């Protein structure tokens, strides 16, 4: 299939407005505002069959139609660029590689629903994405695509950027609106839905980045073109994020309904080192896992529920036959327990209890009855939590026990994992003790998963001050720290303070950063990094991280 959403990814400087226009950019805005009335655009989107790409899959045209038609009512459009679902990285790359495409969708959507104010809500850790949004919005104002009387019409639209603080819960639309209003990001009771009572109690349309990116192409190519791609109930092209044990992880634009087999083997290069598939999470961490028996299932809204899973964000996470399922699910449980907002007791208590039970089983301290206890607990959360996060946290648990109960039983009876012959109690405590310091809990947990999977012991800290305290208490062999942290003490200051302490100055430091090749980088001259042993740029590939860790630890031993 010819690329549509990703067509500009290989174009140099595609984020530049002149380059974007030279490749056909903003033609859809011109066509929509000059040739179509708002209701005609809504009808076009309805006929295309476009459904939301953020996970729920709600029909986009119907969502637009639910917005009030009264021109005297203040309406808002909110762009959800929070993207905190583990395994999902499509929206981030759309904003980093082709942001004008998304903004073009924003302008057309706002025109269709009568919104004259739009807000881009972006996850706080996406430094590059936030910078891109600010730049493309400024350029669009300068060229007359934003502001008053756009392209000589009477349509006005103002757009601004709001950075979040990294909470996964703010991907839920009402929690996002709470955060945008300056409140704690916790979900609201629905109904009323945002289309009736949204931002500042006004009708609000909240859309995912990929959904908005589809809109300009439907305007230019027509609803029939879009509807002819995909399946009966899942129309159009879809960006699938593929990660895990594959040869070529990345974003792949394919028709809706493409099978898992084709995605993994034809596009992502198959499984690393010629191994076999053990498990697949088809739609991001919150969707139930499947097995190699499901490789021929189409990735479509209607197909995956028939085999007990869901499309979600279309983030395909692949695990090979050397993966410890209990270990993998334990790490997912830690993520959901950490990200629970705490508003409702079932999620607040249930996610943490599941995490503790899984940790107990994984450590070889479980009992036979713990598996059924875990299932009972997970099932009790379903339908009882305030928002979908609590129920989503149960999916990895229930599905993994369904397909891999024998691995849980093996952990309990043999006190070892099925993927290794070394009993848990006989394993060395660690190859080394590593302290990970970052105010981004996702980075800490992902790094923990990578390192613990390679038998390192990991300690976490959320800021430089806590990092120094943990370093004094735990005496780690290595520290991995972010440069910039939002509170207390950042990584750079921490490295300086460590040099003033005789007990800490010998500990090697790997510094990681999200600000490479940005204007922020100029704030940190290279000569100020004298106390840092190595630098890595986020997102850090697992193999690169492990190579750096081994290199630092071996150099420490040789000294």
Q: How many CA atoms lie within 13 A of 71 on its CB side?
A: 7
Q: How many CA atoms lie within 13 A of 154 on its CB side?
A: 4
Question: Nearest to residue 17, comparing CAs of 100, 121, 124?
Answer: 100
pLDDT of residue 218: 98
Question: What is the C-alpha to C-alpha distance for residues 270 and 110, in angstroms, rounded to an integer?
Answer: 41
pLDDT of residue 74: 97
Question: What is the C-alpha to C-alpha distance for residues 555 and 414, in angstroms, rounded to an integer?
Answer: 37
What integer is the mean pLDDT of 549-556? 79
Summarised one tens digit per residue, pLDDT across range 95-146 is 999 999 999 999 999 999 999 999 999 998 888 899 999 999 999 999 999 9
Confidence of residue 175 (pLDDT cuts 50, 70, 90): very high
The least confident of 34-38, 448-452, 456-460 is 448-452
Mean pLDDT over the full length of the chain: 90
β-bridge pairing 204-208 and 478-482: unpaired
For residues 348-359, one letter each, b for 16 or more C-beta atoms within 10 angstroms of the residue's C-beta and e for the rest, the string is bebbbbbbebbb
Q: Where are the beta strands (DSSP E) in 450-507?
A: 457-461, 478-482
Summarised one tens digit per residue, pLDDT across range 323-361 is 999 999 999 998 999 899 989 999 999 999 999 999 899
Q: In the 8-state DSSP scheme, what is residue 62? A: H
Question: What is the C-alpha to C-alpha distance for residues 394 and 389, in angstroms, rounded to an integer?
Answer: 9
pLDDT of residue 528: 47
User: pTM above the 0.75 mark?
Assistant: yes
Question: What is the C-alpha to C-alpha distance for residues 232 and 49, in angstroms, rounded to an integer?
Answer: 9
pLDDT of residue 424: 53
Q: Which two tokens stand for residue 170?
A: 């703010």
Q: Where are the beta strands (DSSP E) in 92-183?
A: 117-122, 158-163
Q: Which two tokens stand for residue 515?
A: 């600000």
Is residue 117 classed as helix, strand or coil in its secondary structure? strand
Question: Nearest to residue 293, comparing CAs of 306, 277, 281, 308?
Answer: 277
Is residue 347 classed as helix, strand or coil in its secondary structure? helix
Confidence of residue 430 (pLDDT cuts 50, 70, 90): very low
- 232 vs 516: which has the higher pLDDT: 232
β-bridge pairing 204-208 and 509-513: unpaired
Q: Which residues contact 473 (CB under 8 A, 6 or more apart)?
A: none
pLDDT of residue 487: 63
Using a CB cutoff of 8 Å and minimum separation of 24, what contacts does 198-202 make? Answer: 198/76, 198/78, 199/76, 199/78, 199/119, 200/76, 202/73, 202/74, 202/75, 202/76
Q: Which two tokens stand for residue 113?
A: 């629903």
pLDDT of residue 537: 83
pLDDT of residue 486: 65
Is residue 370 classed as helix, strand or coil in its secondary structure? helix
What are the structural domains, with CATH classification, of the chain? 17-227 (3.40.50.11540), 237-320 (3.10.20.600), 325-426 (1.20.1440.230), 433-558 (3.40.50.2300)
């Amino acid at each position: 299939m010819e690329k549509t959403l990703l067509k500009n990814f290989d174009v140099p400087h595609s984020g530049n407005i002149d380059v974007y226009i030279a490749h056909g950019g903003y033609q859809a805005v011109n066509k929509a505002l000059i040739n179509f009335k708002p209701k005609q655009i809504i009808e076009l989107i309805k006929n295309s069959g476009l459904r939301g790409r953020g996970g729920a899959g709600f029909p986009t045209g119907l969502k637009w139609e639910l917005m009030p038609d009264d021109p005297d009512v203040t309406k808002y459009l909110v762009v959800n660029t929070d993207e905190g679902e583990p395994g999902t990285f499509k929206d981030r790359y759309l904003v980093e590689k082709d942001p004008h495409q998304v903004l073009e969708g924003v302008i057309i959507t706002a025109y269709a629903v009568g919104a004259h104010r739009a807000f881009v809500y972006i996850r706080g850790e996406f430094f590059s994405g936030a910078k891109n949004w600010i730049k493309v919005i400024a350029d669009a104002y300068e060229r007359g695509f934003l502001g008053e009387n756009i392209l000589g019409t009477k349509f006005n639209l103002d757009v601004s950027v709001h950075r979040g603080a990294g909470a996964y819960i703010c991907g839920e639309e009402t929690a996002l609106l709470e955060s945008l209003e300056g409140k704690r990001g916790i979900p609201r009771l629905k109904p009323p839905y945002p289309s009736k009572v949204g931002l500042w109690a006004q009708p609000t349309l909240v859309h995912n980045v990929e959904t908005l990116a589809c809109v300009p192409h439907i305007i230019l190519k027509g609803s029939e073109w879009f509807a002819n791609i995909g399946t009966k109930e899942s129309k159009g092209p879809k960006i699938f994020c593929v990660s895990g044990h594959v040869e070529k992880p990345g974003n792949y634009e394919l028709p809706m309904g493409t099978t898992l087999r084709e995605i993994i083997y034809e596009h992502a290069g198959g499984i690393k080192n010629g191994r076999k598939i053990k498990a697949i999470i088809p739609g991001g961490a919150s969707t139930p896992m499947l097995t190699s028996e499901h490789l021929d299932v189409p990735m479509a809204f209607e197909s995956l529920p028939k085999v007990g899973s869901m499309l979600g964000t279309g983030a395909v996470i692949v695990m090979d036959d050397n993966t410890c399922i209990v270990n993998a699910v334990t790490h997912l449980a830690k993520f959901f327990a950490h990200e629970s907002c705490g508003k409702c007791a079932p999620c607040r208590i249930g996610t943490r209890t599941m995490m503790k039970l899984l940790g107990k089983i994984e450590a070889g301290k479980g009992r036979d009855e713990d598996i059924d206890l875990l299932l009972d607990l997970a099932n009790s959360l379903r339908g009882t939590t305030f928002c979908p996060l609590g129920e989503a946290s149960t999916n990895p648990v229930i599905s993994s026990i369904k397909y891999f109960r024998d691995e849980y039983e093996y952990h309990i009876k043999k006190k070892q994992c099925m993927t290794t012959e070394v009993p848990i109690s006989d394993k060395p405590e660690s190859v080394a003790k590593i302290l990970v310091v970052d105010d981004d809990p996702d980075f800490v947990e992902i790094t923990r998963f990578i390192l613990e999977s390679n038998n390192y012991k990991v300690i976490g800290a959320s800021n430089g001050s806590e990092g120094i305290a943990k370093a004094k208490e735990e005496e780690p062999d290595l520290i991995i720290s972010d440069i910039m942290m939002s509170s207390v003490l950042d990584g750079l200051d921490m490295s300086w303070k460590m040099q003033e302490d005789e007990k800490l100055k010998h500990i090697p430091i790997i510094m990681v950063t999200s600000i490479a090749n940005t204007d922020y980088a100029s704030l940190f001259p290279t000569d100020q990094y004298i106390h840092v042993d190595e630098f890595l740029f986020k997102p850090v590939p697992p193999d690169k991280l492990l190579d750096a860790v081994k290199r630092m630890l071996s150099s420490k031993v040789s000294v």
